[in-house]
């Protein structure tokens, strides 16, 4: 099965600011932000009080009342996005061999929101050590083990091939799609429904990020709270969302006349083996992942037209990855636009990697690079071209997108237009 | 030629034996680790039995600074990884950092740690939640902590597919070996025997409510009425075969084949996917059914699930066509830790030429299985098949083979 190449033929995005690819792209291309004061619960006791929340009603997006009741919010996102991506691809799943269709989903924190809510009930507000089983909802096992999200998506799209969740913290959204690419390349599947979903905006998540001061304490101006690469940045803004793709082997996509968004040309992941939450400032491991992804793509640093950064807006991340871009791309890093859409849609943990893949695909589709919102005065140690405030028309045939997360995981993916001028391709 | 991935080290943490030797000694002798829960008082709950690991002294085996930041399952995983590396004769510090990766599975993360922090949040306030909650409970924690402790910077990963994940992680580790990383630490350890994890498991309706340890978990028995959960699992060292040979490593066996499928949506009337997973694993390993000397069953111990598994085994291997065993009848179901423990047991069984028994079970003749019960069965073993299913419809099968 060597030589099999993998393309994206369908996608759907649920991001703060709106459900659907069109709303997502208009937010990004207009440089608007979707961060706001938290409304899901009373944020008063918390250090960080802003988030990028979605306005989402599962039933309005086609879920049955029973589906909406049993599924965690992140699972609801995933099912809605998966159905949307399949519809977008034009694939008639009924006419496919379900054994050759698989599902991978990424999620960093699974059903955290439901677990938080249900714990509160069964413990009677934290009073009971021996929590009361007579108050559990019957489907709570599906919250305990978040591979239930994958089951829901497989049922929704009719997949009976390889199915799994990839849960590598904040790189889950890249790693899940990368995993699906590997399954198609090796011949395990012909079609993969792949993406990631997280809905972490709940008190327990806010509390633990408060404790390590990872999220921003800024409260005065929620729309300006997420400030990657800006000298005044002081933490990320928690978000939520989901993106799901339909991936196909390139030749079979061509045969059915599918619209092809892009090829997933290269993917790699490495670990920093350093610290569960800390980063070494030289960015060596992310640089290694980038080099490996370029190798797999058979592309040179100079082929990269745009870097979709992790850009979380923590002090150490933005310097870490700036160093990694320079180490891996050399001088080309200085000539390449870099931006962080987390400035607009926040950091949805395991989901954001897939949402950023979608942003990268759309940048290639429109030849427009989304901006880094709220970037007024760059950190002097972040000295690349971060596309401040305003989107930019820019010929974009190949994109590097990266992720970095707790556990030390560093992932990189290279996406390319299939009609790009080939340079030394294998 | 595709690189072959071989197992060169085992690190076992099981309810019936902490460490490979103790585990195998207990398992071949049919000694169970299932008993009444001691970790908390289970009196109020309908299900009161579990496979707990007794005598695990993390404070003697791990640096003190790791204790406040780790759930029990992570401590077990770190120690099992240490043992597996020692068993393989590998000193990570001697190897290039990017030549080693970590791929583990997890079903429910550090759930006990999570209960403690949720309790602080809701009873005392958000400012009492530990900074370590940000990573101690999430599914990626074991891969992250093992990579940090051992300086492993190569490709890593984390798979969640309930009980099937234990095989899916080893398959992903093999993929990374084939793509060129010489050594991957893989497998899984799970533990969520805390009240909050317990009620979540009970709500699934698949736990036995019997109180007598020898009568509670009875796969393929007419009296099957659910399973007993356990904690633990195994960590395996996977290496590229020629590199392992060059350094003179002991080789337990090869990860010869793997297949994975997902069941059709409920009510579709289409056949379940386990049989196909077994067939895919055989094809991947270039094996005929008759080459398989023993099957380690998933052993759900619910009549519907047992029937599906027995039918899949019968369809591939023929009626009573292959010895089948479920040593997990001595440990309980360990979620993602279960299949790596079965892989370890399979490799140890091959080494000794002895199939460990399924304990306490009187096999229902209706299933048509040659279930190895009561006593271990001596046999010439070269190839074993391990099956694992995850709730919702995940099916995985993996063949291991002596070299």
B119 and B240 share one domain: yes
Q: Please enumerate in sequence order all residues whose Cβ is within 8 A of that of A40, keeping only pairs 6 or more positions apart, or say none.
A: A51, A53, A201, A202
Q: Do residues B231 and B261 both lie within one domain?
A: no
User: Reduced to 3 states, what is the DSSP secondary structure of residue A176?
Assistant: helix
Rounded distance between C-alpha atoms, residue A400 and residue A405, angstroms:
17
- B267's CB contacts (< 8 A; 6+ apart) are none
A-chain CB neighbours of B106 within 8 Å are 167
3-state secondary structure of A340: coil
**CA–CA gap between residue B396 and residue B389 (Å, rounded):** 6
**Is B162 a residue whose pLDDT tops 90?**
yes
Which of B122, B127, B139 lies at the smallest CB-CB distance from A126?
Answer: B122
DSSP SS3 for A5:
coil
Residue A422 has pLDDT above 80, yes or no: no
The answer to whether the CB atoms of B391 and A164 lie below 8 A apart is: no
Residue after which a domain boundary falls, among B198, B213, B246: B246
Whether residue A203 and residue B101 make contact (CB cut-off 8 A), yes or no, is: no
Q: Which of A115, A160, A407 sits opposite B135 (nearest CB)?
A: A407
Q: What is the pTM of this model?
A: 0.98
In this structure, how many other beta carbons lie within 10 angstroms of the beta carbon of residue B290?
Answer: 10
C-beta atoms of B106 and A167 within 8 A:
yes
A351 by Cβ neighbours in 10 Å (0-12 / 13-18 / 19+) ranks as buried
**Is there a contact between A406 and B135 (Cβ–Cβ < 8 Å)?**
yes
Alpha carbon distance A15, A240 (integer Å): 7
Tokens (6 digits) for A404: 């970095």
Name the active-site residue from A170, A179, A242, A320. A170
User: How many residue pairs bridge chain A and chain B with CB atoms within 8 Å of each other?
Assistant: 273
In a domain, B358, yes or no: yes
Give pLDDT, residue A3: 86
For the segment B305-320, what is each residue's pLDDT rounded down to a tens digit? 999 999 999 999 999 9
Q: Is there a domain that residue B251 lies in? A: no
Instruction: Judge whether B144 lies within some domain.
Output: yes
Q: How confident is residue A2, by pLDDT bands cut at 50, 70 and 90?
A: low
Q: Min CA distance, A272 vs chain B (Å)?
A: 6
Range(s) of the domain holding residue B345: 256-401
Is B120 found in the same domain as B20? yes
| Cβ <8 Å between A272 and B153 | yes
Judged by DSSP in three states, A8 sits in strand
Query: Do B150 and B65 share a structural domain?
Result: yes
Task: Identify from B38, B102, B121, B205 which residue to disrupt to test chain A contact, counting A C-beta atoms within 10 A and taking the largest count.
Answer: B121
Note whether B206 and B180 are same-domain residues: yes
Query: What is the predicted pLDDT for the residue at A421?
Result: 76
Sorting pLDDT into bands at 50, 70 and 90, what band is A425? very low
Average model confidence (pLDDT) across chain A: 96
pLDDT confidence of B2, banded at 50, 70, 90? confident
Report the distance separating Cα B183 and Cα A70, nearest Å. Answer: 41
For the record, the structure tokens of A331 come out as 């001088």
- CB contacts of A150 in chain B (<8 Å) are 161, 392, 394
- Does residue B55 have a pLDDT over 80? yes
Note whether B316 and B206 are same-domain residues: no
Reply yes or no on whether A170 is catalytic: yes
Six-digit token pair at B299?
């052993």
Tokens of A414: 């290279």
Residue B150 belongs to a domain: yes
Backbone angles phi, psi at B236, to 5 degrees: -120, 145
Show residues of chain B in contact with A210, CB under 8 Å: 126-127, 129
Task: Give the separation between CA A15 and CA A241, rounded to whole angstroms.
Answer: 5
Whether B138 sits inside 8 A of A108 (CB atoms) is: yes
Pair (B90, B34) in one structural domain: yes
Tell me what the mean pLDDT of segment A149-160 comes to: 98
Contact A217/B at CB under 8 A: no
- How crowded is residue B82: how many other Cβ atoms within 10 Å of its Cβ? 17
Q: What is the 3-state secondary structure (H, E, C) of chain B?
A: CCCCEEEEEEEEEECCEECHHHHHHHHHCCCCCEEECCCCCCCCCCCCEEECCCCCCHHHHCCHHHCCCCCHHHHHHHHHHHHHHHHHCCCHHHCCHHHEEEEEECCCCCHHHHHHHHHHHHHCCHHHCCCCHHHHCCCCHHHHHHHHHHCCCCCCEEEEECECHHHHHHHHHHHHHHCCCCEEEEEEEECCCCHHHHHHHHHCCCECCCCCHHHHCCCCECCCCCECEECEEEEEEEEEHHHHHHCCCCCCEEEEEEEEEECCCCCCCCCCCHHHHHHHHHHHHCCCHHHCCEEECCCCCCHHHHHHHHHHHHHHHCCCCCEEECHHHHCCECHHHHHHHHHHHHHHHHHHCEECCECCCCECHHHCCEECECCCEECCCCEEEEEEEECCCEEEEEEEECC
Residues of B in contact with A122 (CB under 8 A): 196, 199
In the prediction, which pLDDT does A420 show? Answer: 84
Q: B264, A160: Cβ pair inside 8 Å? A: yes
Same domain, B53 and B136: yes
Domain ends where: B192, B220, B246?
B246
One domain, residues B275 and B207: no
How many domains is chain B built from? 2
Contact residues, chain A, for B134 at CB < 8 Å: 208-209, 211-212, 214, 277, 406
- Chain B positions touching A160 (Cβ under 8 A) are 261-264, 270, 273
pLDDT greater than 70 at residue A417? yes
Whether A242 is a known active-site residue: answer no
Q: What is the pLDDT of residue A426?
A: 41
Question: Would residue B17 count as lying in a domain?
Answer: yes
Give yes or no for residue B1 having a pLDDT over 60.
Answer: no
Which of the residues A61, A179, A242, A310 is marked catalytic? A310
| B54 within domain boundaries | yes
Candidate from B118, B120, B147 with C-beta closest to A271: B147
Q: Tell me how close the Cα of B379 comes to any Cα of chain A, in angstroms.
A: 33
Q: How far apart are the first and last CA of chain A?
A: 16
The pLDDT tens digits of the residues spanning A184-229 come to 999 999 999 999 999 999 999 999 999 999 999 998 999 999 999 9
Residues B374 and B298 in one domain: yes
DSSP A224-288: G---TTBTT--SB-EE-EEEEEEEEEHHHHHHTT----EEEEEEEEEE--S-SS---TT-HHHHH
Domain CATH for B229: 3.40.47.10
Domain end marker among B223, B246, B269: B246
What confidence tens digit (pLDDT) does each residue in A12-68 have?
A: 999 999 999 999 999 999 999 999 999 999 999 999 999 999 999 999 999 999 999
**Least CB–CB distance from B195: residue in A131, A179, A270:** A131
- Answer whether residue B372 is part of any domain: yes
Average pLDDT over residues B319-326: 98
Q: Does A87 touch chain B (CB under 8 A)?
A: no
- Is A376 among the residues known to form the active site? no
Same domain, B61 and B136: yes
Confidence band (pLDDT; 50, 70, 90) for A169? very high
Closest-CA residue of A relative to B148 is: A273
Are residues B235 and B282 located together in one domain of the fold?
Answer: no
Nearest to A182 among B131, B175, B195 (CB): B175
Residue A424, pLDDT above cutoff 60 = no
């Amino acid at each position: 099965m060597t030589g099999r190449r993998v393309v994206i033929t369908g996608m759907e995005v649920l991001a703060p600011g709106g459900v659907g690819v069109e709303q997502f792209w208009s937010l990004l291309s207009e440089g608007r932000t979707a961060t706001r004061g938290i409304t899901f619960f009373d944020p008063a006791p918390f250090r960080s009080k802003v988030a990028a929340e979605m306005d989402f009603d599962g039933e309005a997006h086609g879920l049955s009342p029973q589906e909406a009741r049993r599924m965690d919010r992140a699972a609801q996102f995933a099912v809605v996005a998966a159905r949307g991506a399949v519809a977008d691809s034009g694939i008639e799943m009924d006419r496919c061999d379900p054994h050759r269709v698989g599902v991978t989903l990424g999620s960093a924190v699974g059903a955290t929101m439901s677990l938080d809510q249900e714990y509160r009930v069964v413990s009677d507000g934290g009073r009971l050590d021996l929590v009361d089983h007579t108050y559990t909802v019957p489907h709570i096992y599906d919250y305990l083990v978040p591979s239930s999200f994958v089951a829901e998506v497989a049922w929704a799209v009719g997949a009976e091939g390889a199915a799994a969740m990839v849960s590598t913290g904040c790189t889950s959204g890249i790693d899940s799609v990368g995993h699906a690419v590997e399954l198609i390349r090796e011949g395990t599947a012909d079609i993969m429904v792949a993406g990631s979903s997280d809905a972490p905006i709940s008190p327990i998540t806010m509390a633990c990020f408060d404790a390590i001061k990872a999220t921003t304490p800024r409260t005065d101006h929620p729309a300006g709270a997420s400030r990657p690469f800006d000298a005044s940045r002081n933490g990320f803004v928690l978000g939520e969302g989901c993106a799901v793709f339909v991936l196909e082997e390139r030749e079979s996509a061509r045969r059915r006349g599918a619209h092809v968004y892009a090829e997933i040309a290269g993917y790699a992941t490495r670990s920093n083996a350093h610290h569960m939450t800390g980063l070494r400032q030289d960015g060596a491991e992310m640089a290694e992942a980038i080099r490996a992804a370029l190798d797999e793509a058979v592309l040179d640093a100079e082929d990269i037209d745009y870097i979709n950064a992790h850009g979380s807006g923590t002090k150490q991340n933005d310097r870490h990855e700036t160093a990694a871009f320079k180490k891996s791309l050399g001088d080309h890093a200085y000539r390449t636009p870099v931006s962080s859409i987390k400035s607009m849609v926040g950091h949805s943990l395991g989901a954001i990697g897939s949402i950023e893949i979608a942003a990268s695909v759309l940048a290639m589709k429109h030849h427009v690079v989304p901006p880094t919102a709220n970037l007024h005065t760059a950190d002097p140690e972040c000295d690349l071209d971060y596309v401040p405030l305003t989107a930019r028309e820019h010929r974009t045939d190949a994109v590097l997108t990266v992720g970095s997360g707790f556990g030390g995981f560093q992932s990189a993916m290279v996406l390319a237009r299939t009609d790009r001028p080939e340079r030394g391709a294998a | 030629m595709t690189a072959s991935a071989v197992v060169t080290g085992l690190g076992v943490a099981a309810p019936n034996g902490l460490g490979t030797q103790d585990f195998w000694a207990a398992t071949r002798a049919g000694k169970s680790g299932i008993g009444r829960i001691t970790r908390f008082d289970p009196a109020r709950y309908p299900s009161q039995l579990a496979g707990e690991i007794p005598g695990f002294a993390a404070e003697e085996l791990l640096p003190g600074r790791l204790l406040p930041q780790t759930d029990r399952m992570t401590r077990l995983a770190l120690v099992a990884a240490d043992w597996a590396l020692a068993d393989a004769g590998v000193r990570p510090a001697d190897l290039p950092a990017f030549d080693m990766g970590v791929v583990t599975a997890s079903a429910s993360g550090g759930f006990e740690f999570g209960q403690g922090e949720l309790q602080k949040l809701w009873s005392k306030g958000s400012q009492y939640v530990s900074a370590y909650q940000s990573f101690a409970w999430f599914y990626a924690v074991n891969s992250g902590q093992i990579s940090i402790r051992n300086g492993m910077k190569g490709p890593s990963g984390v798979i969640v597919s309930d009980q099937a994940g234990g095989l899916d992680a080893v398959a992903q580790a093999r993929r990374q070996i084939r793509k060129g990383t010489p050594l991957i630490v893989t497998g899984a350890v799970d533990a969520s025997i805390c009240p909050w994890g317990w009620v979540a498991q009970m709500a699934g309706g698949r736990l036995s409510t019997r109180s007598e340890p020898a009568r509670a978990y009875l796969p393929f028995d007419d009296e099957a009425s659910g399973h007993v959960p356990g904690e633990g699992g195994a960590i395996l060292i996977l290496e590229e075969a020629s590199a392992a040979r060059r350094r003179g490593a002991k080789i337990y066996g090869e990860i010869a084949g793997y297949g994975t499928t997902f069941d059709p949506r409920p009510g579709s009337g289409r056949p379940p996917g386990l049989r196909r997973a077994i067939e895919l694993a055989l094809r991947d390993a270039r094996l005929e059914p008759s080459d398989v000397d023993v099957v380690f069953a998933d052993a759900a111990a619910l009549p519907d699930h047992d029937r599906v598994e027995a039918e899949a085994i019968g369809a591939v291997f023929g009626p009573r066509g292959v010895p089948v065993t479920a040593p997990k009848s001595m440990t309980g179901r360990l979620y993602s830790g279960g299949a790596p423990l079965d892989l370890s047991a399979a490799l140890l069984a091959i080494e000794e030429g002895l199939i460990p028994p399924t304990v306490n079970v009187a096999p229902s003749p209706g299933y048509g299985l040659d279930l190895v019960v009561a006593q271990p069965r001596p046999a010439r073993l070269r190839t074993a098949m391990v099956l694992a299913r995850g709730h919702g419809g995940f099916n995985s099968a993996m063949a291991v083979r002596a070299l």
